[in-house]
Structure 1
Amino acid sequence: MLDRLQIVKQRFDEVSDLIIQPDVIADQKRWVALNKEYKDLKALADKRDEYVNILGNIAEAKEIIADGSDPEMTDMAKLQLDEASSRLPELEEEIKFMLIPKDPEDAKNVMVEIRAGTGGDEASIFAGDLYRMYTKYCEGRGWRTSVVDMNEGTAGGFKEVIFEVTGEDVYGTLKFEAGVHRVQRVPQTETQGRVHTSAATVMVLPEAEEFDVQIDMNDVRIDYFCSSGPGGQSVNTTKSAVRLTHIPTGLVAQCQDEKSQHKNKDKALTVLRSRLYEMELAKKQEEDAAKRSSQVSSGDRSAKIRTYNYPQGRVTDHRINMNIYDLPNFMNGDIQKMIDEIQLVNNTEKLKEASEVF
């Protein structure tokens, strides 16, 4: 472990020197990337310093105890040895977690797509509830959300809503929200008080940069049409909405949120690029899943991952068998506890895989 930590220390020192160089500061993109790397490496470098210090304390204490010439120093050394020895295993586990290679996708922004499933109007209302839950959560994290496209339900909510989330480590936090979300409750339209089950599908796509996915615009059909829904006087009169169809794959992306045709085209292109990128990522995730029996999926849109039971005030995540009996606050965006537990299970699995390295 010390050898790996020494490599981290060398890179940390290198990055520390680079970020103060005038030519690096002038290159804003490179400077931002190096600052993020500096932040990640500093946490590990600090742990490395603590680890080296504890190993030194253990060696020193053992020497004093072995000498035994000064009873008072020997007693102090025994206390120091006990304290350092009890901290060492805990610190080693912390370092192992930190040394697990991060998924390079985790730092990306995302496109979140929520679609009403089975359940008619109630499914659309539930899709709207999920949209509100996620936007509230993002707001609490200081992330910015922006609607790309929406198709409102006839009784409220959305048949489909697509929104962009930008911030720090967004994909790494939200990727496990992908899948089928199921709700059990009495719909407002139900006259006899019966509980109905409805569903909505959530997709979380890492936002792809141009260098991630190259799109030949000769393979893309572009259609312009009038926006629908709220949006001002230009709605239904100006063909500002844009629909892009990727002919080789049949993937379609559209945007009608902006008044500008050009901005809508840019947003639709971002969605299309992310969907193409997600197709390739899904293939890789399937290959990775074949190598291990992970109970936490981060992309299977057909997997039923969570149930929201209103009569019992309970949220159940089926992947980790976790129940939270605080449904109102959960639906108001207080979902961090569930996300933390899912990430913990996933990280534990990764640690088992990497254990032979240490």
Structure 2
Amino acid sequence: MAIKLPDISPFKARVEEIDEMMNAPDFYSDARRSAAISREQMKLRQLLVDYEALDKAKEQLAENKEMMADPDGDEELKELAEMEIPDLEEQIESLEEKILTAMIPPEETDSRNTILEIRAGAGGDEASLFAADLYRMYSRLAERQGWRVEQMSASESGIDGFKEVIFSISGEEVYKKLKLESGVHRVQRVPETESQGRIHTSTVTVAVLPEAEEVDVQINPQDLEITATRASGAGGQHVNTTDSAINIVHKPTGITVYCADERSQIKNRAKAMKVLYSRILQVKQEEERAKYAENRKQQVGTGDRSERIRTYNFPQSRLTDHRIGMTIHSLTQVMDGELDEVLAALQAEDQRLKIEALMTGPQS
């Protein structure tokens, strides 16, 4: 059955607005902005083409049904009209789905590079070991996708684990594919130190932040408390002969970033500032989401780092994503970065819910 699509008028108006922008003499002076707007124009023009094709298919379907209902009509033509109906109905359904998907408001940060923060939670040493496992999992995923990984900061646990590890992933649509990874990841397995073979449950928190640009966040230098210290402890031993570590506190928010991975104080400061910008951007985004808290049921995940999203059960080689009720029995491959099936399922459900929200409109 045909559905009632949202009004196409705002999309037509946006195409006209973009056409005017692209005619401006200085349009191509900002290569990044002009490329983004050109991509938007291409997407919107395809939307209008599909909408016109949908109108024509609906008109043809109505004509065919009218022809079949005509008592004085030619029987051979009626038969041809009836044969065309299934194809027309399938075409209409396909175009409606394509149009609805194209109408979903784009998220500006989807094309951004990403900063991941992985922190050991409950479970002591086992949690820090699993934090290291997740770091490897995302690094292997990045390798498979052709993305680039750069470690920003790490606090090692001394048993080949991480209390915390922060790293950036650069590449095409990284944030779009990884943004639903934020939350609590739970592991169930027998620790190497467990002599009686008992299964332990530990947790690790993952935060996925879109890499911020300076236009997203304005930081007053006077709001920063920057301290250079001597790196120490695991991970910092190779640089602890100079004051190369950097600690930055953003006083208005209380956000603190520490970076000691590089030998250079300048490089550590640059990395710390990149993380700081992204964390402040996340705070702004969370404030925006809070305004629409009643619509959280229309999200696959809220992005809340306290939300338990997934369980990794090693004895049964089972991964379960609790948000979409998905269970797969290929944990070894997943831990080696083969996350495509899970990520695709999450994106599909997220898109389905967004289409549902688009159709129902704002909730009162």
What is the TM-score when the length of structure 2 is the normalising length? 0.86
1:1-358 matched pairs, under 5 angstroms: 4-5=7-8, 7-8=10-11, 11-12=14-15, 23-41=26-44, 43-59=46-62, 61=64, 66=70, 71-228=75-232, 235-294=239-298, 296-357=300-361
Give the letter for the 1:155 counterpart: I
Q: Closer, same or farther in 2 for the Cα pair 1:3/1:152, shift >3 Å?
A: closer
Q: Mean alpha-carbon deviation: is it higher for 146-155 or for 307-316?
A: 146-155
Q: How far is the alpha carbon of 1:182 from its aligned partner?
A: 0.9
CA distance in 2, matches of 1:292, 1:27: 36
CA distance in 2, matches of 1:52, 1:143: 41
CA distance in 1, matches of 2:209, 2:39: 22
Q: Mean alpha-carbon deviation: is it higher for 99-108 or for 51-60?
A: 51-60
CA distance in 2, matches of 1:147, 1:64: 67
| Matched-pair contact (CA < 8 Å) for 2:229–2:246 | yes
Give the letter for the 2:31 counterpart: Q
Q: How far is the alpha carbon of 1:75 from its aligned partner?
A: 3.1
Q: Closer, same or farther in 2 for the Cα pair 1:220/1:345, shift >3 Å?
A: same
Give the letter for the 1:323 counterpart: T
Q: Mean alpha-carbon deviation: is it higher for 167-176 or for 286-295?
A: 286-295
Q: How far is the alpha carbon of 1:283 from its aligned partner?
A: 2.4
Q: Mean alpha-carbon deviation: is it higher for 284-293 or for 129-138?
A: 284-293
Q: How far is the alpha carbon of 1:174 from its aligned partner?
A: 1.6
Q: Mean alpha-carbon deviation: is it higher for 103-112 or for 113-122?
A: 103-112
Q: Sequence identity, in percent?
A: 42
Q: Closer, same or farther in 2 for the Cα pair 1:64/1:154, shift >3 Å?
A: same
Cα deviation digits, residues 142-182 of structure 1 (max 9, x gap) = 32221110112211121110011223333232222111111
| Matched-pair contact (CA < 8 Å) for 1:245–1:253 | yes
Q: How far is the alpha carbon of 1:20 from its aligned partner?
A: 9.0
Q: Closer, same or farther in 2 for the Cα pair 1:35/1:144, shift >3 Å?
A: farther
SS of residue matched to 2:164: strand
Q: How far is the alpha carbon of 1:209 from its aligned partner?
A: 1.5
SS of residue matched to 1:249: coil
Q: Closer, same or farther in 2 for the Cα pair 1:101/1:224, shift >3 Å?
A: same
SS of residue matched to 1:105: helix
CA distance in 2, matches of 1:321, 1:181: 15
SS of residue matched to 1:106: helix
| Matched-pair contact (CA < 8 Å) for 2:298–2:357 | no
Give the letter for the 1:305 counterpart: I
Q: Mean alpha-carbon deviation: is it higher for 319-328 or for 287-296?
A: 287-296
Give the letter for the 1:179 counterpart: G
RMSD: 3.0
Aligned length: 357
Q: Closer, same or farther in 2 for the Cα pair 1:209/1:26, shift >3 Å?
A: closer
SS of residue matched to 1:214: coil
CA distance in 1, matches of 2:72, 2:261: 78
Structure 2, gaps ≥5 residues long = none
CA distance in 1, matches of 2:131, 2:327: 21
Structure 1, gaps ≥5 residues long = none
SS of residue matched to 1:205: strand
SS of residue matched to 2:226: strand
| Matched-pair contact (CA < 8 Å) for 1:148–1:257 | yes
CA distance in 1, matches of 2:151, 2:26: 37
